[in-house]
Amino acid sequence: MATRKKSLAVVGILLVFIAWGVLLPDLAKGSVVLETADFGDVPVGSTVSIPLYITNTGKTTLILYFRYENYNCDFSLPRQESVLQPGTTVDLEITWTPPEGTEGSTCSDTLKVIYGPDLHETVLVTGRAVAADGGKKDPNTSIVIGECDTGVVDQVYGGRNISGWISDCAVGAKNHGQFVRCVAELTNELKKAGHISGREKGAIQSCAARAHGIP
């Protein structure tokens, strides 16, 4: 009798694993949504970070694992795995420092995000190395948002001027609130990277909040 109960228990466990193996792909398949990851132009010797947003649109909790296919660009991630609950988004940062002597070259690698047996999504990570002094504008030019002059020098960040990143926020926002949030995220990155001070961060955000015609 005890042997029969043990056999039934083993069979039950096996059925659970079989069912899980059948259902998991259906629950998880197509669950990971990736944004593009393009560094644009980056001066050699400088370190730039860009966000990578990953959304779980499925019905089950996912454990994400990350792997580059070639490792030929030295793109880096701060961690190698992440737990993602259903309906949530994780914000990761990819960093890149183009080495000296690579001016004018474009580097790309495929980042594979693995989240189940035979389940993965990929995103192409690209960046172009430029001369360290290339693309800089007149240091006396300040950032203007709408008709509001921030008084903050429009310097290069991530291979582009800050005003260009702010323009991207305006183009990508559906309403003024989204524009302000995008500028806030940008200024947080700039301050963290040491490109602007707390006072300058506040000046940019203040002008963004007052620019009600944008977008």
Q: What is the CATH number of the domain that holds 38?
A: 2.60.40.10
Residue 204: closest CA among 126, 125, 150: 150
**Shared domain check, 126 and 37:** yes
**All residues at 6 or more sequence positions from 205 whose CB lies less than 8 Å from its CB, including other chains:** 180, 183, 184, 187
| Residues in the chain with pLDDT values less than 70 | 1-36, 78-79, 133-140
pLDDT at 1: 53
Number of domains in the chain: 2
- For residues 149 and 96, membership in a common domain is answered with no
Residue 147 lies in a domain: yes
Residue 17 lies in a domain: no
Whose CA is closest to 94, among 168, 37, 43?
A: 37
DSSP structure class, residue 132: T
Cα atoms in the 13 Å half-sphere on the side-chain side of 178:
10
Q: What is the pLDDT of residue 15?
A: 38
- Residue 199 phi, psi (nearest 5): -65, -45
- Looking at residue 7, its pLDDT comes to 46
Looking at the structure, do residues 182 and 151 belong to the same domain, yes or no? yes
* pLDDT score of 24: 43
Rounded Cα–Cα distance for residues 127 and 108 (Å): 7
Owning domain of residue 182: 142-210
Domain boundary among 86, 108, 130: 130
Question: Do 188 and 120 share a domain, yes or no?
Answer: no
- Establish if 20 belongs to a structural domain: no
Those residues whose C-beta lies under 8 Å from the C-beta of residue 98, and which sit 6 or more positions away, are: 42, 43, 44, 45, 46, 107, 127, 129
Looking at the fold, whether 55 and 88 belong to one and the same domain comes out as yes
Point out the domain boundary residue: 97, 130, 163.
Answer: 130
Same-domain check for residues 148 and 206: yes
147 and 187 both lie in a single domain = yes
Let me know if residue 23 belongs to a domain: no
Domain co-membership, 147 together with 120: no
pLDDT of residue 25: 46
Single out the residue of 131, 114, 132 nearest to residue 123, CA to CA: 114
177 located within any domain? yes
Residues 76 and 151 in one domain: no
In a domain, 135, yes or no: no
pLDDT score, position 182: 93
Helices 198-210 and 176-192: angle between axes, nearest 10 degrees: 170
Q: What is the pTM (predicted TM-score) of this model?
A: 0.50
Domain match, 120 and 151 both: no
